[in-house]
Amino acid sequence: MALRHAVLAALLDGERSGYQLAKAFDMGMANFWHALPQQLYAELAKLEREGLVAGREVVQEARPNKRLFTVTDAGSAELQRFAATPSKPSFIRDDLLVKVAAADSVDPAELISRLEERAEASRAKLDLFDGLLATMRGDLDEDEFLARGTGIGPYLTCLRGRVFESENRDWCERAAAVLRSRTRLPAE
């Protein structure tokens, strides 16, 4: 997958500025695709040159002018083509796992601290996902929303992010407990 497909998907909800796109990435796409704001701005320019998005200038009085972008028919066709291609298997690339792999040779107290930090970060993301999911559902319970709600794609990806962070939290807590018990370090 290229950044272009993630940007096109993020623009499906409607017209957005580069700033709004960066915020949308932080809130929705970040659980499966990370991009820096400058990467998003560069990709928007490229997509516009290729005719996959259309931009328009909005003149503002008290602020600098801004550009708003929407997906074109060609951009929608590109997303259709992308959706029809086989997906590659995902893989984990995580520096914390490298640190844990070296557990027999590094300071266990430091490693436990890193695991606890990651568990706490996952707990914070879980709270964020829970809030996003509740906002997307509105007055519907989850089963009703899954059966007939609108915006099912973002909801399903948010659910996947929630499961991912829940598993991260659980694994970090378990790994820290194992290391603590093996080294007889007190729980924090």
Q: Over the stretch 24-49, which tens digit does the pLDDT of each residue have? A: 776 666 667 778 889 999 999 999 99
What does each of the 188 residues of the chain score in pLDDT, given as a tens digit?
A: 588 998 998 898 889 998 888 887 766 666 677 788 899 999 999 999 999 999 999 988 998 889 999 999 999 999 999 999 999 888 888 999 999 999 999 999 999 999 999 999 999 999 988 998 999 999 999 999 999 999 898 889 889 989 999 999 999 999 999 999 998 766 66
Q: How far is CA 184 from CA 27, 68, 140, 147, 180, in A?
A: 39, 57, 48, 50, 5
Question: CB atoms < 10 A from the CB of 15, how many?
Answer: 15
- Model pTM? 0.78
